[in-house]
Structure 1
Amino acid sequence: MLIQKVLPVPRGPFQTQSPFLFAVYHLDNYPPSRAQDGMGVQPALLHGRNLGMDFGNSDWNMYHGRLVPGFPQHPHCGFSTITLVRRGTVDHHDSLGSYGRFADGDTQWMDAGRGVSHSEMLPLLHAEEGKNTLDLFQIWLNLPRASKGCAPNYTMQWREQAVKARIKDSHGRVVQVETVAGQLEGWPAPQKPPQDNYARDPENCVAIWVISMDAGARWEIPAAPTGVNRSVIFFKGDEINVGEYAVKRHANMHVDASLPCPLHNTGTTPAELLMLQGRPIDEPVVQQGPFVTSSRPEMQQAIQAYHRGHFGKWPFEQDDPVLPRESPRFAHYGDGREERPE
């Protein structure tokens, strides 16, 4: 049977399968910003919000931010984050001394490894109505026990290097497959993930694809080897058929990866899906918020290491730093290297 399980796609995190730990889709239509508000939300619009813990609103959220939306300094260890910014801007700072800005089609890969603190702030750069939309996925990919102690690091996959396969079905309708990880046969491989990342080894069959389909379009996700987990998340559009199953609302489907997965956008608007695939990591997982280990004693050690400052001293004046409004997209690494998209 192709479809093994069907789950809803809630506002906020949705369920994933190993080797993934967590995934969340953020869609926020932020208001225009004013110069005097420093790329933040106008204070008058913040009344009644639970600042510091503002989640679950239908229009937009401050998350843990108080003036600029986002996620001030917080720790991670034992896994990797993959942040796909489809639209909007993220300012990154971390305890390695790295910082940068990525936006509008860029993807950041960060291996937290033995531990790092970082901030992810969402500056509102535009004064025009409708220009500050944030459309973003963040995905947590586990690290095997042997890699959990790796040195933390991050790399950028700039939109200029993104691999987007453009395919026409037999009626000329277009399907686009953006391969963030995992190669689609007949198309170039995407940029390699960081050295210690679980997705780097092709034997792990990790794939992160964003599939966009014209109304009426058909396409088939190719089969993967036996023993691989695959989730297909329908997150935008009216309705879609997955195999013989008619999906009338957004859904998170766990499917048999060893079978081809036919998709047919039966709706009247374009449809978008996220595919998460990988060989499961057959090891215990102990998770406590942003800490992931393989045992309870290791969890206690990780939390103690954080409180003792072993994740690095925060080198910035604020817990929620943002770059100047006019800053371009770039990455400055803790070793002094600087990178800009080409």
Structure 2
Amino acid sequence: MAIRQIQSLISAHPSSDGDGVRIQRVHGFNNTQFSPFLMIDELKSESSADYVGGFPPHPHRGIETLTYMLSGHFQHKDHMGNVGELRDGGAQWMSAGRGVIHSEMPIMTDGELHGFQIWINLPAAKKMQPADYHDFQPDVIAQHRQEDGSLVRIIAGDLTIKGTTLAGPLQQTGVPVTIADWQADHAASLNSCLNPDFQAMLYVYRGAITVEGKEVSAGNLAILGSGEGLAISTDGQAGVLLLSGQPINEPVVHYGPFVMNTMDEIEQAIQDYQQGTLV
């Protein structure tokens, strides 16, 4: 079985979004090796001043978002009437489709906040479908404790570990994806099988890992090559997001919260939002 190796590394860079929320961002809107993913934002701070402004109401079209919190609480509200509280260890998925207007505001005002928002592209055939939303509390996230003590949490799709396939609660996405979180407090390893037709990436958010003899430290994204096997290890503490998905071989045009296939479609999205017909 061919083991995936690192093809390239991308370092996260400081940025801000919403009402001044500080984030570390990695994006690949026009990087075909990134597809079907578009962007990963890591929100991490021990100061409420860095996140208390949250993300007031704003629009999206043409994408899905998956938000996953390690610590800290956010409240989601959208034009469809959905209200969901994102708690420690929980996740929420939103498909913007043809249009959604939502807000994500912190409930806590003191203490550490650490989480991620992942943008996933939608194929052209699904960009104008109705919007949808689901949240997943911590107790429904699939978990597997390995013999070495490390923990695997599967949020979306399926992951096979030592012949056993574990299914995350999020199964119906615009394109098939697997998103998992591997956490280790001491020397440990993760060996799993991935769909060989999927592209795969690893975002290290704590400590450092080794992939086929190559080290990746926190704040870096490793884009992996082809293969079916995944073998990662750490000599100490580590936290890693695994993102794997079916690539979308279509043009990507990005403008703010809108991701479409042509500039004409972007202009139409802007016009629809301005005229109140986006949703």
Aligning the two structures, in what range does the TM-score lie when normalised by the shorter sequence? 0.7 to 0.9
Instruction: Give 1 or 2 for the bigger CA radius of gyration.
Output: 1
Q: Tell me, yes or no, if structure 1 residue 161 matches structure 2 residue 140.
A: yes
Identity %: 32
SS state at 2:38 partner: strand
Residues of 2 paired with 1:188 and 1:240: CA distance? 23
Aligned match of 1:10: 13
Residues 8-39 of structure 1 show CA distances to partners (whole Å, capped at 9, x for unaligned) of: 233321134100111111012135xxxxxxxx
Say whether the 8 Å CA contact 1:69–1:123 is kept in structure 2: no
Structure 1: stretches of 5+ with no match in the other structure: 32-59, 63-67, 127-131, 313-342
Distance 1:282 1:61 in 2: 37
Match of 1:244 in 2: 213
Match of 1:106 in 2: 90
**Structure 1 equivalent of residue 36 of structure 2:** 19
The answer as to whether partners of 2:73 and 2:85 remain within 8 angstroms in 1 is yes
1:222 is aligned with what amino acid? C
Do the aligned residues in 1 keep the contact of 2:157 with 2:171 (CA within 8 Å)? no
Change (3 A) 1:177 1:302: same
CA contact (8 A) 2:216 2:222 kept: no
Deviations 1:55-94 (A, max 9, x none): xxxxx514xxxxx420101111111010101111111111
Query: TM-score if structure 2 supplies the norm length?
Result: 0.86
Q: Which amino acid aligns with 2:211?
A: V
1:234 aligns with 2:204: yes
Q: Give the Cα separation in 2 of the matches to 1:25 and 1:98.
A: 24
- Which SS does the other structure have where 1:302 is aligned? helix
Q: Where does 1:133-212 land on structure 2 (aligned, <5 Å)?
A: 133-168=112-147, 173-185=148-160, 186-194=164-172, 197-199=173-175, 204=176, 206-212=177-183
Partner SS state of residue 179, structure 2: strand
The AA in structure 2 aligned to 1:253 is A
Q: Say if 1:188 and 1:241 are closer, same or farther in 2 by CA, change over 3 A.
A: closer
> Structure 1 length normalisation: TM-score?
0.71
Residues 234/113 of structure 1: CA separation in 2 closer, same or farther (3 Å cut): same
Aligned equivalents of 2:145, 2:277: Cα separation in 1: 46
Unaligned 5+ segments in structure 2 are 15-23, 29-33
RMSD: 1.9
Please name the residue that 2:195 is paired with. 224
Query: Displacement of 1:304 after TM fit?
Result: 0.7
SS at 1:184 equivalent: strand
1:301 is aligned to 2:268: yes
C-alpha displacement at 1:2, in angstroms?
A: 1.4
